[in-house]
A and B are shown apart, each in its own frame.
Chain A
Amino acid sequence: MLKIIRNRYEQGCKTSNYPQEPIALYKRFRGLPKINGDCDPATVGQCAAICPQDAILCEERKIDLGKCTFCGRCENVGDGAFVTFSQDFAMGTSSREALLCDGTLPALAEHAKKHFKKLFGRSLQLRQVSAGGCNSCEADTNVLNTPFFDLSRFGIDFVASPRHADGIHVTGPVSKNMKAALIATYEAVPAPKVVIASGACSISGGPFYGSPEIIGDLGSIVPVDLYIPGCPPHPLTTLHALLNFFK
């Protein structure tokens, strides 16, 4: 008992005051990229050539955040002449097209569908489906239930059964072997329901794009309402997206 009290005292209250108070991430964290539209084409080409995800659109001078794994190689190779990554973790979008990014993203709150807020604004229950991938998206989604983020204080919970859920939160590139289980889970959620694509894998196949063993694009199987980019998305990216879309 004394040990419990001592540890309780030592640990104190660790829950963050986000979103009332902003959180600053360490400068090396790579969030929303800043893009220099006036960069010379040679440097842009160099960045595109080194990008392992082929996420850079040279002509339009944009980055596809749905493909990007935020590895930072484009920033390294051009010494930031074309791309530098900011520490802005707010990157959720309501459309796939909006992820083709010139350095800005549409404000999520404006695009949030009103009936979603009305329906799920006070209580949102999600069923998570891990459909392939590498498990880091799942790990950083789990983290939302730790004392620091404490997701349940917002009325958002991950639940065990799709029958108890208002929607699904999907991670992974949807391996062929998971397609049927994913669709069955989606169908088991009562309508109206939402679908969240979390992480580069579920949006575009991520590092595994082009593999014949994956579907590579969740949107081609079920209609997606919310996209959360990242590899994996930082827990704050997910938290920001959920709060702004549904609250």
Chain B
Amino acid sequence: MDNFLQINNGQAIKRSSIPCLPFPRFAELLDAFVKNDGFIVQFFAHVEDGRNKLVAVVRNNQLYVAATEVGETFPSLTASSSSKFHMFEREIAEQYGITPVDHPWLKMVRYHANYRQAADVFGNDYRQDIPGNYQYFQVEGDSVHEVAVGPVHAGIIEPGHFRFQCAGEEVFSLEIQLGYQHRGIERMLTQVPMKRLSIICEGIAGDTSIGHNLCCCQALEALTGLAVDPGAQVVRCIALELERLANHIGDLGALSGDVAFNPPAAYFGRLRGEFLNLLQVLCGNRFGKSLVLPGGISQIMGEEQAKIIEDKLKELEPEISHVCDLLFSAHTVQARFENTGTVSTKMAEDLGLVGYSGRASGLPYDARVAFPTEAYGALHANRNEMVNGDVYSRASVRREEIMHSMHLIKSLVNRAGEVSAKRTMHEISLEPDSFVVTVNEAWRGEVSHCLLTDKGGRIERYKIKDPSFHNWTGLAMALRNQEISDFPLCNKSFNLSYCGFDL
């Protein structure tokens, strides 16, 4: 990786120090990197002085960055190298109208006109109201039938469209078309006043409010040289873990509901609320919105709040452990969870899965361990045992992480002595001509924000990546040769974000 620049998580560097390689060299290095246990954190386009540039942020046990210049087209790396590039290249084509030539499945991602007013790669007319003028992948054969679901689903959930090609119960192919929640966030973030950044980032995915806003605030802190005191770092970690707990517990409840085992579904549903209420104790909002601000946190965690959290955990821990035992030891549940929706280690690697979906398939990557931020450097890591890649493994990882998170919070709350001063939002000026990437392990996995500032210190390009951007393809692959009736179960075990993907 001689030609790539090694960088640190959340450290601002000058844009001029990013090596800009000729495309063939860039492609050759990336190809070697991803085939040798390397993964892509960010891969995106932007326009610099009227020229199209591609930036790649990649990781093994270090982070690296490099850039290249391209014209209106470039040879697809998905075609020549690895599926890990697949979604990123589609996104580049949609956002900047730059065509990855020979891409095996070049299709719109979020259905919007590109930023350069260049000709649309997909030939779409965006004056139409709805996505959908698209030929879905077809499987041919006498007994093949098609099932279409969404964008308005049966439950209270986000919009997305699923197209199944089946023979009887068996699913040959599942195609997932999202984009219904596209709000134009990346562009908005370059145009709105600084005071709106946090609020918008909390709205990227409401269930990952802390994770995304943390990435945003860490990036802004890096670009202004703001220091965060240790007390605030502790509170940020507690908040991120509370978010993880609420979501994992809610999902275990949803999984029990999907196999019609209703008692744990009801208990987990209620227990999830307890953790949302703890976030409300910390900051007044059940989703942790408005807690994290550039430079610190908006409310202090005093002894009172620390005690509420500590007492609640003491009360809930045995309950959670008993309900988990109830769920995981039921034979009917095991029969439905095991060998359902399996994603092999090889497949997970090829697609670059992250978070618990990756860990359940044997990819141990955890950003809290690999690139620790805030107070994570001094905390214990979690190691999961079950790596079969099926629904059972994904559920087991969640169970282990629930116990681990409660342990982390208990050890952090004991450091409540280091209470932090509360901080208000104020205008900050960013370092000009700079680049920063931040990575955090939110509950679904690796969340990353990447900022490029211009000569005047304004944000020129804001790039966001939710873990769902990698993992939706994992869900589609998990469904291959499964029964369509197992879809809800597979879906819940991944529980991916529509809005975090749609941006």
Report whether B289 and A71 are in contact in the complex, using a CB–CB cutoff of 8 Å.
Answer: yes
Report whether A10 and B199 are in contact in the complex, using a CB–CB cutoff of 8 Å.
Answer: no
Q: Tell me which of A1-9, A32-40, A97-105, A111-119 binds B.
A: A1-9
Interface residue from A51, A70, A137, A207 paired with B285 (Cβ < 8 Å): A70
Q: Tell me which of B224-232, B321-329, B474-482 binds A.
A: B321-329
Interface residue from A181, A185, A211, A231 paired with B184 (Cβ < 8 Å): A211
* Smallest CB separation, B165 vs chain A (Å): 22
Complex formed: what's the CA distance from A138 to B12 in Å? 36
CB nearest neighbor in A for B261? A4
Interface residue from B152, B195, B270 paired with A181 (Cβ < 8 Å): B152
A213 CB within 8 Å of chain B? yes
Report whether B129 and A210 are in contact in the complex, using a CB–CB cutoff of 8 Å.
Answer: no
Contacts of A72 in B (CB 8 A): 284, 290, 298
CB nearest neighbor in A for B212? A134
> Size range of the interface on A?
35 or more
CB nearest neighbor in A for B277? A26
Report whether A77 and B155 are in contact in the complex, using a CB–CB cutoff of 8 Å.
Answer: no
Complex formed: what's the CA distance from A206 to B202 in Å? 12
Report whether B206 and A134 are in contact in the complex, using a CB–CB cutoff of 8 Å.
Answer: yes
Report whether B289 and A139 are in contact in the complex, using a CB–CB cutoff of 8 Å.
Answer: no
Report whether B199 and A53 are in contact in the complex, using a CB–CB cutoff of 8 Å.
Answer: yes
Kindly identify, within residues 131 to 151 of chain A, every residue whose CB is under 8 Å from any CB belonging to chain B.
Answer: 131-143, 145-148
CB nearest neighbor in B for A73? B425
Kindly identify, within residues 272 to 322 of chain B, every residue whose CB is under 8 Å from any CB belonging to chain A.
Answer: 272-273, 276-277, 280-287, 289-290, 298-299, 308, 319, 322
Report whether A136 and B159 are in contact in the complex, using a CB–CB cutoff of 8 Å.
Answer: no
Report whether B200 and A208 are in contact in the complex, using a CB–CB cutoff of 8 Å.
Answer: yes
Contacts of A136 in B (CB 8 A): 206-207, 209, 286-287, 289
CB nearest neighbor in A for B179? A177
Kindly identify, within residues 191 to 206 of chain B, every residue whose CB is under 8 Å from any CB belonging to chain A.
Answer: 192, 195-196, 198-200, 202-206
* Smallest CB separation, B279 vs chain A (Å): 10
Report whether B326 and A3 are in contact in the complex, using a CB–CB cutoff of 8 Å.
Answer: yes
Contacts of B111 in A (CB 8 A): 177
CB nearest neighbor in B for A30? B284
Interface residue from B156, B159, B200, B267 paired with A178 (Cβ < 8 Å): B159
A180 CB within 8 Å of chain B? yes
CB nearest neighbor in B for A169? B156
A179 CB within 8 Å of chain B? yes
Contacts of B199 in A (CB 8 A): 52-53, 69, 71, 207
* Smallest CB separation, A218 vs chain B (Å): 15
Report whether B280 and A26 are in contact in the complex, using a CB–CB cutoff of 8 Å.
Answer: yes
B424 CB within 8 Å of chain A? yes
Report whether A10 and B180 are in contact in the complex, using a CB–CB cutoff of 8 Å.
Answer: no
Report whether A234 and B322 are in contact in the complex, using a CB–CB cutoff of 8 Å.
Answer: no
CB nearest neighbor in B for A128? B156
Contacts of B155 in A (CB 8 A): 128, 142, 158, 160
CB nearest neighbor in B for A162? B152
CB nearest neighbor in B for A168? B152
Q: Which 3 residue pairs spanning A and B have beta carbons closest together? A: A136-B206, A213-B184, A134-B206
Report B's interface with A, CB cutoff 8 A: 110-112, 129-131, 151-152, 154-159, 179-185, 188, 192, 195-196, 198-200, 202-207, 209, 250, 263-264, 266-267, 269-270, 272-273, 276-277, 280-287, 289-290, 298-299, 308, 319, 322-323, 325-326, 329, 422, 424-425, 497-499, 502
Report A's interface with B, CB cutoff 8 A: 3-4, 6-8, 10-11, 14, 25-26, 28-30, 50-53, 69-73, 76-77, 85, 128-143, 145-148, 158, 160-162, 172-173, 175-181, 185, 201, 206-208, 210-214, 231-232, 234
